[in-house]
Amino acid sequence: MPFDPSPKVQDLQRRLAAFMDEHIYPNEKRFLQEAESLGPWKVYPVIEELKPKARAAGLWNLFLPASERGAGLTNLEYAPLCEIMGRSLLAPEVFNCAAPATGNMEVLERYAS
């Protein structure tokens, strides 16, 4: 099925790719070192440092449809952004788009707003 991203999605793709180049890819080695030294159940400082930057860049909760707290995208619009985020192990969490946070955020958005 052909898909031509809307101008909104194209803008998000451009901004997301730029953020990945500037912040995510240069920190992959650090992320792996922190994961190795801290173990699987710790909070990794590199992720916590990058989250506020992603939020400030307007790249936070991209998965939330029709929401003032997210990008308001459909699943079809969100898919090409997942493709970009999926290129790095740390990216989905930095953008608050990793499971189980996505499902939890959808429940909170629906019932706690």
Model confidence at 46, pLDDT cuts 50, 70, 90, reads very high
Is residue 97 predicted with pLDDT exceeding 80? yes
| Token couple for 21 | 């180049």
Contacts of residues 71-75 at CB distance under 8 Å and 24 or more positions apart, as own/partner, are: 71/12, 73/8, 73/9, 73/12
The whole-model pTM stands at 0.89
Question: By the 8 A CB rule, do 98 and 92 touch?
Answer: yes
Model confidence at 43, pLDDT cuts 50, 70, 90, reads very high
